[in-house]
Structure 1
Amino acid sequence: MGRTMWKAVVAGGAALVFTGVAGVPAGAAEGGVAFSRVSVNGGKPIVIGVQERVEVHAVFRMTTKLRYDLGPMVFPYRGTTENAETVQSAIIGSDCKVVDSAKGICDFEEWLYIDPRDLDFGNEDAGTWRTAAQVYLPGDTQDIDDVNLPLRIQRATRVTVDASPEPVAAGKTITVTGRVTRANWDTHTYQGYAGRTVSLQFKASGASSYKTVRTATSSATGALRTTVKATGPGTWRWTYYGDTTSAAASSAGDYVATQVRVLHSAYRRVLHSA
């Protein structure tokens, strides 16, 4: 398929507000146009940091025998289709992949871009949005539908970990610290995320997956701290499972070796020499 950028960045980075027509149920042929099979970002939340423009892939089907001048496209919106607020800064759409020319059925791909540096983009934009589908028709008219697909836009989250001492004797205490932060779209920095329940997880050497050992609550600065007993060598990490406005994230793993075998061998040598 070819690609066409048909919707440029809004001047000054402001969120686009457009005038549409009354929304109808998904799949209904409003004015001779119907949208179906809409998928945005593979059904996953759209996670956005503080600097990087995010590319969101979408696919959909449009059925119409009408000639159209611009589009079609799908995008997140809030409000109503008559006066909607959107967050995208640009959209690149594919050419029609014909499914049934006699019935006017085409499949499309789309690449939608959201830039956290846009002037009107801020923390209030995190949360659940709805999805609209739109196409411009001749005579300065358009068809726009709510396709009944919720979208979640989330602030990116980061988690760090540090387990000590390294190595540690078996049965001794390990202190595991870390910090959970999330993107602040107003200041374009990552800031401590307070009051979050975060899971401490352990993957024993040779194991294929992590298991949750306990949970901790982040401090006012997002700091995490707890203690556990060393049961054997393995890797420790913190995992935050996310919420409505903030994405899930896990820290990198911190491997801690234990000295149980070394100490045991030394003890046997002492007994033998005695």
Structure 2
Amino acid sequence: MRIRSAVAVVSLATAVSASIVPAAAGAADGAAAGPTTFTHVVVNGGKDIVLGPTTRRTVTLTWTATDPEGVAKTWAHLWHGPNTDDADGHLPHYPPAGTCTVSPADPATSTCTLSFEVDAARDLHRNSLAGTWNVLTEAQDTTDDWTDVDVAATAKIKRNAKVTVNASPEPVRKGRTISVTGKLTRADWETGAYAGYRGQSVKLQFRKKGSSTYTTVKTITSGSGGTLRTTVKATKDGYFRYVFAGTGTTGPSTAAGDFVDVR
């Protein structure tokens, strides 16, 4: 956390200006004023932001700013990289205005909301941008002191994944071998397409006809180009599917079940 006077403020070109009605000074006479504190900082409702090669999605960022002197203005944005000086990504790129509401019960507290669009093709031009992003928050109080926190919260931005399945032959006699094939791919933000994802654990699951529950049969590893291939014995009518749990940089995916008629 850093506190600075208004005359020392650097450019806020990557910050988000929020329109806000200044709160009344909250510090009692003679009391020492403290820095602005930021709480309830949440990105996308706490859910991962999972994007395909050309996905456009509106993301909401919310936070609460509290200052004993009252909050005059507050900003927030997402950044990616080792530190703010060497950040290789900022969201949003073209900051829209957010909105803040002063708490009727506590004039020193303001609750803020910012919605902005993330365009994978425009904003995420390198696959290395997948993973953990940080939320920088900043505020100006009514006495022109500034507080900023480089990492007030974190959020995950991930590459979308797809998995397919095909069980054959169909129909098949009981006791015969069923070949279950498929493919695991994920978004390549650099090429604007999907590419095979090899070396990943994928579960083969089965749901018998008339049931609503899938059970895991085995776990396999995706091969070259993301190929999936294994065999099982035919025992009863039902559905086979592949399930990919996801990683720290790639979202999960579940294939639609493929029905096999066992005779």
Residue 51 (1) aligns with residue 57 (2): no
How far does residue 93 in structure 1 lie from its aligned partner after superposition?
5.4
Match of 2:212 among 197, 201, 208: 208
Residue 178 (1) aligns with residue 182 (2): yes
Do the aligned partners of residues 121 and 31 (structure 1) sit closer, same or farther apart at CA in structure 2, a change above 3 Å counting?
A: farther
Q: What secondary structure sits across from 2:82 in the alignment?
A: strand
Q: What secondary structure sits across from 2:224 in the alignment?
A: coil
Distance 2:71 2:54 in 1: 39
Do the aligned partners of residues 130 and 217 (structure 1) sit closer, same or farther apart at CA in structure 2, a change above 3 Å counting?
A: same
Match of 2:239 in 1: 235
Residue 78 (1) aligns with residue 58 (2): no
How far does residue 36 in structure 1 lie from its aligned partner after superposition?
0.4
- TM-score when scaled to structure 1? 0.74
Asked if structure 2 preserves the Cα contact closer than 8 Å seen for 1:73 and 1:93, the reply is no
Asked if structure 1 preserves the Cα contact closer than 8 Å seen for 2:124 and 2:189, the reply is no
After superposition, the C-alpha distances for 1:167-215 in whole angstroms (9 at most, x for unaligned) are 2222221111100001111111100111112111111122222111012
Q: What secondary structure sits across from 2:199 in the alignment?
A: coil
How far does residue 40 in structure 1 lie from its aligned partner after superposition?
1.3
Do the aligned partners of residues 114 and 159 (structure 1) sit closer, same or farther apart at CA in structure 2, a change above 3 Å counting?
A: same
Match of 1:220 in 2: 224
Asked if structure 1 preserves the Cα contact closer than 8 Å seen for 2:71 and 2:109, the reply is no
Which structure 1 residue ranges, 5 or more long, are not aligned? 1-15, 19-29, 260-274
Asked if structure 2 preserves the Cα contact closer than 8 Å seen for 1:123 and 1:185, the reply is yes
Do the aligned partners of residues 166 and 93 (structure 1) sit closer, same or farther apart at CA in structure 2, a change above 3 Å counting?
A: farther
Aligned length: 233
Distance 2:82 2:155 in 1: 14
Distance 2:112 2:123 in 1: 30
How far does residue 85 in structure 1 lie from its aligned partner after superposition?
4.2
Distance 2:184 2:210 in 1: 28
Distance 1:139 1:112 in 2: 30
- TM-score when scaled to structure 2? 0.76
Asked if structure 1 preserves the Cα contact closer than 8 Å seen for 2:188 and 2:195, the reply is yes
Distance 1:58 1:105 in 2: 17
Do the aligned partners of residues 193 and 144 (structure 1) sit closer, same or farther apart at CA in structure 2, a change above 3 Å counting?
A: same
Q: What secondary structure sits across from 1:214 in the alignment?
A: strand
Q: What secondary structure sits across from 1:68 in the alignment?
A: strand
Matched letter for residue 206 of structure 1: G
Asked if structure 2 preserves the Cα contact closer than 8 Å seen for 1:53 and 1:114, the reply is yes
Do the aligned partners of residues 63 and 113 (structure 1) sit closer, same or farther apart at CA in structure 2, a change above 3 Å counting?
A: same
